[in-house]
């Protein structure tokens, strides 16, 4: 079943590439400002608005856009930039989770997706996550 395949890819990504929720929780545990922000952001995500494949792909694109922004425009990065990139990755994985969970839900409009398409999405997430790590390392060296 495709839902199991996507769930497996999410688990594999979190174990082998990075786990944005764990990283955001760590940031929140070390900083009161981020703790408030993370609690608010986690509750305010428009989970109900993720109803189709296009919205899932939009979340993936937003993650890539956040990394592109830091790479292109941020010369002296701040910890907020790192938070924003991790948050966008969290949102993308959450959208993929909802897709997997609701593939056969008649209230959602998710259409069938092939394993090749899923692999392509996760390949893109992995490549962008590696760029995010480089951007964060560059930012950390400037502090």
3-state SS of 8-39?
HHHHHHHHHCCCHHHHHHHHHHHCHHHHHHHH
> Counting beta carbons within 10 angstroms of the beta carbon of residue 69, is it exposed (0 to 12), middle (13 to 18) or buried (19 or more)?
middle
Q: What is the pLDDT of residue 29?
A: 95
Nearest to 74 by CA among 138, 25, 127: 138
Which residue is associated with the tokens 């956040």?
Answer: 66
Mean pLDDT calculated for residue range 36-63: 92
Q: In percent, how much of the chain has pLDDT > 70? A: 99
Per-residue pLDDT averaged across 91-102, rounded? 96
Which whole-number Å values give the CA distances from 43 to 49, 50, 135, in the listed order?
A: 13, 15, 27
| 69-90: average pLDDT | 88
Question: Quick one: pLDDT band at residue 143, thresholds 50, 70, 90?
Answer: low
- The residue among 95 and 104 whose pLDDT is bigger is 95
pLDDT at 75 over 80: no
Q: What is the mean pLDDT of the chain?
A: 92
Confidence of residue 117 (pLDDT cuts 50, 70, 90): very high
Residue 104 predicted with pLDDT over 90: no
pLDDT for residue 1: 85
Cα separation, 51 vs 48, in Å, equals 7
């Amino acid at each position: 079943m495709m839902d199991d395949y996507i769930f497996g890819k999410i688990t594999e990504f979190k174990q082998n590439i990075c786990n944005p929720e764990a990283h955001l929780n760590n940031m929140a545990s070390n900083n009161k400002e981020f703790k408030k922000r993370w609690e608010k952001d986690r509750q305010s995500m428009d989970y109900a608005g993720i109803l189709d494949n296009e919205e899932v792909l939009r979340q993936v694109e937003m993650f890539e856009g956040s990394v592109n922004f830091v790479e292109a425009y941020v010369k002296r990065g701040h910890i907020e930039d790192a938070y924003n990139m991790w948050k966008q990755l969290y949102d993308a994985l959450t959208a993929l989770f909802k897709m997997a969970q609701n593939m056969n839900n008649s209230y959602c409009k998710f259409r069938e997706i092939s394993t090749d398409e899923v692999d392509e999405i996760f390949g893109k997430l992995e490549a962008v996550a590696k760029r995010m790590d480089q951007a964060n390392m560059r930012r950390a060296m400037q502090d």
